[in-house]
Chain A
Amino acid sequence: MEEAIVVVGDYGSGKTEFSINLALHLSQNHQVILADLDIVNPYFRSREAVKTLEAQGVEVIFSREWGQADLPALSPRTDSALREDKVLILDVGGDDGSIVLGRYRKQLSQRQAGIWQVVNCMRPFTADVEGIMDTASRLEHKSGLAVSALVNNTNLGRETTAELVLEGAKIVDAAAARLDVPVLWHCARPALLDQLDARLDNLLPMEVSLFPADIT
């Protein structure tokens, strides 16, 4: 059975951009389903990249009827997707949003599932090892699931440099060692990949950005 990947993290750590880009990356060799479980924040959710994802054969699950409503609406499709032999990425809302995982804990325990914590070291509460570990324990407390891997998504938006990604990698590696979990991905915009290729393994190209393109 393919893995279920539960993407968790603090608010604004980049869970959604990571989930979208991971889905696109994995869709090259796998059948992928991406379920948007963000019940907290109605802006910048993975459902906004539906067209791009569907063009690559990724199924996107979200509450289509109530997508713009300020309601914690979940699609019943997630329940059946949990029983299918496909890569299933669950994009979970930030911090308190991980409470939603209680709803799926039983099903997740019945299949192979990774709980991946996305970390951006340029964010207020996860700038150092202690902050990352504190966030991990908050997430574990709220979701009832143990973090099994970290993802380094250190960035400053349009001002991100390769050095910044590398500095983040050091901090995230140190936190992962303390938590005794692996760092599975280092995320970077396509323009930075050449500079990072020789220095980091497991680079994930972040092709899709949710920052509004019309804004100068």
Chain B
Amino acid sequence: MAKQLMKGNEAIAEAAIKAGCRHFFGYPITPQNELPQYMSRRMPQVDGVFLQAESEVSAINMVYGAAGAGARVMTSSSSPGISLKQEGISYLAGSQLPCVIVNIIRGGPGLGGIQPAQSDYFQATRGGGHGDYRVIVYGPASVQEMVDLTMEAFDVADRYRNPVMILGDGVLGQMMEPVEFHYKPAEGLPAKDWATTGAAGRDPNVINSLSLVAEHLEEHNWRLQDKYKEATEKEQRWELYNCDDAELVLVAYGTTSRIVKSAVNQLREQGIKAGLLRPISLFPFPEKAFAQLPSSVKNFLAVEMSAGQMVDDVRLTVNGATPVHFYGRTAGVIPGPAEIIKKAKEVAGGEK
């Protein structure tokens, strides 16, 4: 299939359809509206279901229902809407139901603004709702990567029987880049023999997150933790750029990583040995990438469109072995290469 020019929001929607998603439940909010809009136009063409729910709480519980019945299902929203969905996400994780959730982040807190941000990193990577659970989170940096990771997200959700989140921001959702779609279903995915598909000829399946005996619930929790451990071992994803001889490694994901890449190129032209470590999976955080870095690295600089959230994972990973610095703009302001370069020079100069 030839390339098309698509917005990130549309590309996620088409990728979901290509990956076999035929159920979408959502509620509008800027800056992700093109996603449900596209779904409303495409789902009828592929005999799928598009439903605009009366609220985000309704939408996520419709996702629970469709996932419980064994369907590939998606919902999307932006920051305040994702907060409303947290109760449902906790229930999905507790009931071990696969689904794909898209958060195209806008500035917060509260109703915030409508410009791009990365300030929902904590919410996404720490679980977000109540209880001991995690959501597998991907942070794409281009429209093509939004396509590829969305398709993969459905497979990963089915493999781990767990919600998977695509974490984007307003720029990625809105900007247009050439994309192509190549979906090859993953092999060896487990059969959905737990789904409530009608109990004729077998014992009924029950989907529930309630467990009133503490010891039973603890046992269930350890099973969930085992899944997160397996995901941490197998699902880490990252990109290293110009890191082979780097003395300063900038760490950034999503839109910010594209701007940081511009900054790294300019720093290199000015003789500063800078590189970029770009986490692609945000949970699990790509700790393995740090182990691959050369011993020449003297400083890390995390750059985010937040007041400093992913930088905590960088600090936990580096564990005091190397200084970790931070530069961020928040609330919808996008950092430019010049200010990142200025901070990078401060950090690199501080070593002398």
Contacts and interface: CB of A to CB of B under 8 A. Distances in A.
Interface string A1-33: 000000000011000000000000000000000
Interface stretch (A78-86, A109-117, A120-128, A198-206): A120-128
Contact of A68 (B37, B41, B115, B177): B115
B259 A12 contact: no
Nearest to B173: A43
A95 B37 CA distance: 10
B145 to A, nearest CB: 13
A66 B209 CA distance: 45
B114 A68 contact: yes
Given A12-B7, A122-B3, A215 B113 contact: no
Contacts of A194: none
Contact of A215 (B30, B114, B178, B258): B258
B337 interface: yes
B135 interface: no
A41 B10 CA distance: 14
A76 interface: no
A216 B41 CA distance: 32
A11 B114 contact: no
A123 B114 CA distance: 25
A156 interface: yes
A170 to B, nearest CB: 15
Contacts of A11: 7, 10, 34, 37
A212 B41 CA distance: 28
B31 interface: yes
Interface string A29-67: 000000000001111100000000000000000000000
Given A68-B114, A156-B5, A157-B178, A12 B30 contact: no
Nearest to B332: A68
Contact of B259 (A44, A122, A159, A215): A215
Interface in B258-273: 258-259, 261-262, 265
Contacts, number: 79
A96 B33 CA distance: 12
Contacts of A125: 41
Contact of B175 (A120, A127, A212): A212
A12 B33 CA distance: 13
A96 B40 CA distance: 13
Interface in A120-143: 120, 122-125, 127
B4 A211 contact: no
Contact of B178 (A42, A43, A96, A159): A159
A214 interface: yes
A123 B4 contact: yes
Nearest to A11: B34
Contacts of A124: 4, 6, 10, 14, 38
Interface in B232-286: 255, 258-259, 261-262, 265
Interface of A: 11-12, 40-44, 68-70, 95-96, 120, 122-125, 127, 155-159, 211-212, 214-216
Given A41-B174, A124-B10, A156-B178, 11 more contacts: A11-B10, A12-B7, A42-B114, A43-B171, A68-B114, A68-B115, A122-B5, A123-B4, A124-B4, A127-B4, A156-B3
